Structures are given as C-alpha cells and as structure tokens.
C-alpha cells in the first residue's frame, strides 16, 4: 500500500486514486483548489477553458469511484466533501454549457 506523496502526511493512498500518489484528503484538497479557481471565473462571468473542465471531470470521476469502490466504508466527513465536490463540478458544467460561445474563445 502506497503512502501519500505530501511530505509529513503518511496517510494511505486509495487504489482508485493511486496514480496521483495522494491520500483522499490531499486528493480532495487539490480537486477543490481546481474547482475554486473555476468557480472564481464563473462568478465573474468569465469563460472556462475546456482543459480545466476536463481536468475537473476526471477528478469527479475518480471521486465518484471513491464513493463506490473503496473497500472500507468512507467516514462521513470525506464522503460529504466528495459529494460537495461533485455538486460543484456539476454546477460548473452547467455554467459552461450556458456559455458555449464564450468557452470556444478561450486559449
Ligand atoms: Zn496526504
């Protein structure tokens, strides 16, 4: 079993997210960082670029798998964070879908 790559963390890395080398807590920290950056754009009515959305969607897929494929039942706190993240990504996708013309112009 691998251990989280963040110095001083030492928590185990779940198989589903083993490729990223981060424990669940740090995986979610990074995922929320990406989502917050995208949310800040959406609050200013700025377009989101496709690669940001793809990245968030990848994280959301992994997070969804964590809910269902982790052998040990997740504690309530991380489970709520995952659900919050999935909701956040869903909102961002809806936002991006409403601004198709703008999204197409982003480099
Ligand atoms: Zn960690």
Question: For residue range 15-73, what is the model confidence (pLDDT) as tens digits?
Answer: 889 999 999 999 999 999 999 999 999 999 888 888 999 999 999 999 999 888 766 66
CA 103–ligand 1 middle distance (angstroms): 34
Query: What are the backbone angles phi and psi of residue 17, rounded to the nearest 5°?
Result: -110, 20
CA 12–ligand 1 middle distance (angstroms): 8
CA distance 35 to 71: 27
CA distance 106 to 104: 6
pLDDT at 73: 65
Which residues, other chains included, contact 79 with Cβ-Cβ below 8 Å and sequence gap of 6+?
A: 67
CA 28–ligand 1 middle distance (angstroms): 10
pLDDT tier at 100 (50, 70, 90 boundaries)? low
Specify whether the CB–CB gap between 79 and 68 falls below 8 A: no
CA 43–ligand 1 middle distance (angstroms): 30
> Which has the minimum average pLDDT: 2-16, 23-37, 61-75, 80-94?
61-75
**What DSSP line would sit under 42-98, residue for residue?**
HHTTPPPPHHHHHHHHHHHHHHHHHHHH-SSPPPHHHHHHHHHHHHHHHHHHHHHHH
Which residues, other chains included, contact 29 with Cβ-Cβ below 8 Å and sequence gap of 6+?
A: none
pTM here?
0.83
């Amino acid at each position: 079993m691998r251990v989280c790559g963040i110095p001083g963390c030492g928590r185990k890395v779940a198989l589903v997210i083993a490729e990223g080398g981060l424990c669940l807590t740090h995986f979610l920290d990074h995922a929320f960082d990406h989502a917050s950056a995208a949310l800040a754009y959406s609050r200013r009515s700025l377009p989101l670029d496709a690669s940001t959305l793809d990245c968030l969607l990848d994280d959301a897929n992994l997070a969804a798998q964590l809910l269902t494929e982790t052998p040990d039942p997740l504690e309530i706190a991380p489970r709520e964070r995952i659900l919050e993240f999935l909701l956040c990504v869903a909102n961002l996708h809806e936002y991006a879908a409403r601004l198709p013309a703008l999204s197409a112009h982003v480099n």
